[in-house]
Each structure stands twice: as structure tokens, then as C-alpha cells.
Chain A
Amino acid sequence: MTGKEVSITINGEKKTAEVEPRMLLVHFIREIAGLTGTHVGCDTTNCGACTVIMDGRAVKSCTILAVQADGKKITTIEGLSRTPGKLHPVQKAFVDKHGLQCGYCTSGMVLTSFWLLNRKKKVSEEDIREAISGNLCRCTGYESIVDSIEEAQRNLEKEGGYTEEEIPVRRGR
């Protein structure tokens, strides 16, 4: 099969490589960009452990071909906080409210939460539960995750999230 040259901007850094068309975006991120914070959980589009932000939308990177992401901008968990050693307000909320146990689903949960909280100004508990319906957690029973996202909303109100220019989030048309 013919290899395809693909350029994907991940956390502001452009990565170019020749890949097999069947390579999944999550493997490009993990193996070519070397960013292993994005996890492969179920591999069947159910669990959302592989969630990343692509051109402003939270998506499942195990269900996208790397060639489909050619030319796109991606944010992974490693790119959420831009200051080394400092957590993003959403990450801090997950720490403070114990929104994780084993941590496997956490990067996906945090990115879905980031997308939700930047897309919608004021979210209810129902909005939160609906938004994370594509992210599975097998440890927490979700209560502490919902608490974390509510805390993240308060954090973002206080500290301000990222502006649109830094990590754009698509709000619909």
C-alpha cells in the first residue's frame, strides 16, 4: 500500500510523517509524536479514553485515520496547560475533587470537559452528564467526575480559560 505524507499540528508543533493510510490518529499521536497521554481504551469507539480536540471539536482519535487529520490542529492532554508545572483549571479541579482513581480515562474526561466548558457558558449537572456520555470510567461511579467538572466551571470563571486564539473551541454556527 502506498504511504501518505501527513502533517498534523499537535499542541502547536507540526509533525510530518509518511504513514500507512490505515494508521489511526491515536497511533500517530502516541507513536510518531511520542505523546502517550492519549490512551487507547476499548478500541471500539465506546470509551473516549482517546479523546483529543481537533479543530475545536472533542473527538475520538481511535476512530479517525491519521490521513483524515492531515492539515488539522490537535490539542492533547499534554498541550492543555501551557505553563510547565502548572495545571490547567480543569486538571486542577480533577485533582481537588478526586475526579480520578486509576487515571486511565482521565485525559479523555479532562479534554471532553474542557471542550464542554469552553463551548457553553453555564452548564448544568445534566449538561455535564450528557457531555461525558461518550467517556467511560470504570472506577469512580462518575459522581466525583461530575463534581470535578462543576469545580472546573468555577475555576474557569475565576481564573479564565484559554482564549479562542490559543485553543479554539467550535461553538456551532
Chain B
Amino acid sequence: MMPPAFEYYAPTGVDEVIDLLEKYGDDAKILAGGQSLIPLLKSRITAIPYLISLSGIKDLSYITESSNATRIGAMTVDSDLEYSDTIRKRYPILMDALSKLADPLVRNMGTVGGNISHGDPSNDLPAVMLALKATFVARGRGGNRNIKARDFFIDTFTTALEHDEVLTEISIPVWKEHSGGSYVKFEKGTWNFSVAGSAVQLRLENGAVVEAGIAITSMGPKAMYIPEAEDYLLGKKFHKSVISEAADIVVEKSQPSPDTYGSVEYKKNILKRITMEALENAFRRSGGM
């Protein structure tokens, strides 16, 4: 299958990308790794007259660590993150997600920035970034703008990025000691979208939760974080009834639609089970059980 014809640009600087975005408006779209966009073009679900590739820009692929944050260039390939010692040590939740993201060949081409800015509610990294309370850097005509992950996901395929802005960096805070997280996804084969995914990040003091991030995949029009469940967990220690009740709140706030992957009731049952599993993993990894 061939995509509908388009003009292709591969500028070497972000400013040129912004020029092209301004020039072509809604007829233009950014191409990162293309692992979501090219299948959409090939199946002719979408047509884009002007494709602007970021692959010619050299300095958008990096992982740098400082004492309070980890900064990831938007064009960093998923598998570079997956095989990174920094990520493995600092963010087990992200390793969970990366090791189950599509398949290893797709992860060798797909990018972190693309996974996030595509705005697909079934992509895995948005929920993880919501749980980790990451911040995104968008570059536009006027310079850089920081956007909190929690303000970024607006609706299906819609993010807070303005049309002439480019996502350039993902900044994840360092979670202090006695913290840990987990991402659990339920899917029917690597080639399918997930039925549901659940991301949990916790920080404990004396075994009790002092900070929590909880977000879900494929369970609504966008990746959703669940503040009610996060608030519920504050001050709580690990107990079967605590994780069950927190998972009930997550299920209550989810907005799944029935489709070929299952009914609403089925999806909610799956979400309950995987959220309990993610909570248990997060408690264990943060030393709370």
C-alpha cells in the first residue's frame, strides 16, 4: 500500500520546521519515527500534503541526567531509552512500558516524542509521563515553553501543542528514595492496541504514601490521570484492601468505550486487575511491602 502523495521536507534545524509549519498550516504535519503516522498514511485513514521530518535535526536525540531531572530529547528512539542504564535505574515504570511498547522492531524506529505528541489514548508513554509528573518542552516562534504532562493531553489526537510548536524535550523529575512505580498493560498480542494499561508511581515515608501518580491507557478519549485515587492513597500503607479500593476509584473514573477488544464491563474488570497489580508492584519497588 502506498500513502497518498505528499511533499517531504527534512530541515536541519527546529526554526526551519517552525517556518514550514507556519507556511503550510493545517496541511502540514511533523514526522518523527513514523511508526504511527506511516501506517495511518498507508491505510489512507489520513492524508497529509506536507510532511516535515525531524530526522535531519542532529541534536534532538539524547538522555541526560542531573540530580533533579532526567532530560530526554524528543527524537530519542524508544529502544535507546529501553537499553539506557539511567532509565533502568531511575524509572522501573518506564522500563515496564518500553519493554511492552509495540514490538522490538517498532521500538527501534519509533521515538519518545512521537509516542507522546501523537495524542493516541492507546499509546503507552503518555500515562507513564502523567504518573511520573513529567514536563514537556515545546519550541515555537517565541522560544521554549514548558507544558506539564498533566496539561498536555486534551483529547483523542489533540494535545496542548500549538500548530507551529515542536515538542523538543521530555523532562522527568527524579523521584526521591523510597519511591517506585510500575506499568501493567493487558493486550491481545503485540500487534493489537492494548485493552487497558495502568501506570502507578509512589513515594513512601515510613511505609506510608506521601506522593502518588496514577494514570491509565486506552480507557478514555485520552491518557487520563486519576487525582481522586492519588489523593485516596496519601497516608495509606500497603494493604490488600487499600489497593483494591484505590483500583475501584480508578475504574470508577475511567471512560472506556465498547469495541472489538471488549465491552465496557470487560474492560473495567481488566482495569481493576491490572491496576491492583501495578499498585502492588509500586509498593514493593518503593520498599513498602
Contact = CB atoms under 8 A, between A and B. Distances in A.
Interface of A: 1-2, 4, 20-24, 43-46, 48, 51, 57-60, 62-65, 67-68, 70, 112, 130-131, 133-136, 171-173
A172 B53 contact: no
Interface residues of B, number: 37
Interface in B49-96: 51, 53, 55, 63, 77, 79-80, 82-84
A171 B79 CA distance: 10
B25 interface: no
26 contacts: A1-B6, A1-B7, A22-B4, A24-B42, A44-B42, A45-B38, A48-B105, A63-B39, A64-B109, A65-B38, A67-B10, A67-B53, A68-B34, A70-B10, A112-B104, A112-B105, A131-B104, A133-B103, A133-B190, A134-B190, A134-B191, A172-B79, A172-B80, A172-B83, A173-B80, A173-B83
A11 B39 CA distance: 26
B8 A46 contact: no
Contacts of B108: 57-59
Contacts of A60: 105-106, 109
A172 B4 CA distance: 35
Given A22-B6, A65-B8, A130 B35 contact: no
Nearest to A50: B105
Given A22-B3, A43-B42, A173-B83, A63 B103 contact: no
Interface of B: 1-8, 10, 31, 34-35, 38-39, 41-43, 51, 53, 55, 63, 77, 79-80, 82-84, 99, 102-106, 108-109, 190-191
A57 B104 CA distance: 10
A57 B77 contact: yes
The 5 closest A-B pairs by CB, nearest first: A172-B83, A134-B103, A21-B8, A57-B108, A46-B191
Contacts of B5: 1, 20-22
A42 B244 CA distance: 41
Given A22-B2, A133-B190, A173-B83, A64 B34 contact: yes
A64 B7 CA distance: 16
Contacts of B42: 24, 43-44, 62-63
Nearest to A21: B8
Contacts of A112: 104-105
Given A43-B1, A45-B39, A21 B6 contact: yes
Contacts of B102: 134
A24 B1 CA distance: 9
Given A43-B42, A65-B38, A172-B79, A59 B8 contact: no
Contacts of A136: 191
A59 B55 CA distance: 16
Contacts of B63: 173
A24 B2 contact: yes
A63 B102 CA distance: 13
Nearest to A40: B1
A21 B109 contact: no
Contact of A51 (B34, B99, B105): B105
A65 B34 contact: yes
Contact of B8 (A48, A51, A64, A67): A67
Nearest to A56: B108
A24 B8 CA distance: 13
Given A46-B191, A57-B79, A67-B53, A134 B34 contact: no
Q: Which of B6, B79, B99, B191 has the most CB of A within 10 A?
A: B191
A134 B7 contact: no
Given A21-B7, A48-B105, A171 B83 contact: yes
Contact of A45 (B2, B4, B35, B80): B35
Contacts of A172: 79-80, 82-84
A172 B95 CA distance: 14
Contacts of B38: 24, 45, 63-65
